[in-house]
Amino acid sequence: MASEQLEEYLEAIYDIGEKDGTAKTSSIARCLNVAPASVTEALQNLSGKGYVKYEPYKGATLTEQGRELAESVKRRHRLLEVFLSDVLNVKGETVHDEACKMEHTISDDTASALCKMLQAPSRCPHGSLISPCNREVTDCVSCLAGEPEPAEPRGEPIRPVSDLEPGQAGTIAFIRGDGNVVQRLSDLGLTVKTGISLVRKTPMDGPVEIAVRRTKLAIDRAIADNIFVTSAPVKT
């Protein structure tokens, strides 16, 4: 299986899985506009490579390895959309279509360079959240200042605080943005290694209420986009 085709399948499984939990063969076939028999063959191939867990007649879910690659493709795609829209002034569906073509041809290092040039955007033009890089960094400050990125990958998966469910807790592991963002969050007591829990999320991308050090804070969703946590809480 060619690398581009592999990434297309993982991306489709990721998107379907986000909505339905398991990506069924028929759903993948519709998403990619291919025959179900071709999907079955591809899933068997991906399972053999360790990217998916596949059960005949049930569907597929991504392994940790598969999810990591799918998220890398998504990150490249959404950064390219920002570049095409904000820098090249490309408009409409052309932005998505062009990003689909380009996402398979750039490396993660090039994606990081794009991220720096675009000043670490949090969302693509369509409103989807852009995941942070997978390097072992706690914020974007040194990176945006031009210092080299660490070569080591992040040891533990992170996710935006807005992905938590009410009552779930985590530890702040990464803050996206420049020094002003880091300082603004620090003033609120939201620093790396701080334990927080989600109290509630208001609908329609409204404020997110969190608890930190026995205090409840209502923060704008745009601010919440910059805070990423690991699943393991710490005592404060």
| CATH code assigned at 181 | 2.30.30.90
> Are 20 and 72 part of one and the same domain?
no
> Are 20 and 49 part of one and the same domain?
yes
> Are 181 and 203 part of one and the same domain?
yes
> Are 51 and 85 part of one and the same domain?
no
Residue 14 within any structural domain of the chain: yes
Residue 136 within any structural domain of the chain: no
> Are 34 and 72 part of one and the same domain?
no
Residue 207 within any structural domain of the chain: yes
CATH code, 14:
1.10.10.10
CATH code, 100:
1.10.60.10
What's this model's pTM, rounded to 2 decimal places? 0.86
Tens of pLDDT, residue by residue, the chain (236 residues): 678 999 999 999 999 988 888 999 999 999 999 999 999 999 999 999 999 999 998 899 999 999 999 999 999 999 999 999 999 999 888 999 999 999 999 998 899 999 999 999 999 999 899 999 888 888 998 888 888 777 778 878 898 998 888 999 999 999 998 888 899 999 989 999 999 999 998 887 789 999 998 899 999 988 888 999 997 554 44
The whole domain housing 83 covers: 67-131
Residue 179 within any structural domain of the chain: yes
Domain tally, the chain: 3
> Are 37 and 55 part of one and the same domain?
yes
3-state SS record for the chain: CCHHHHHHHHHHHHHHHHHHCCECHHHHHHHHCCCHHHHHHHHHHHHHCCCEEEECCCEEEECHHHHHHHHHHHHHHHHHHHHHHHHCCCCCCHHHHHHHHHCCCCCHHHHHHHHHHCCCCCECCCCCECCCCCECCCECHHHHCCCCCCCCECCCCCEEHHHCCCCCEEEEEEECCCHHHHHHHHHCCCCCCCEEEEEEECCCCCCEEEEECCEEEEECHHHHCCEEEECCCCCC
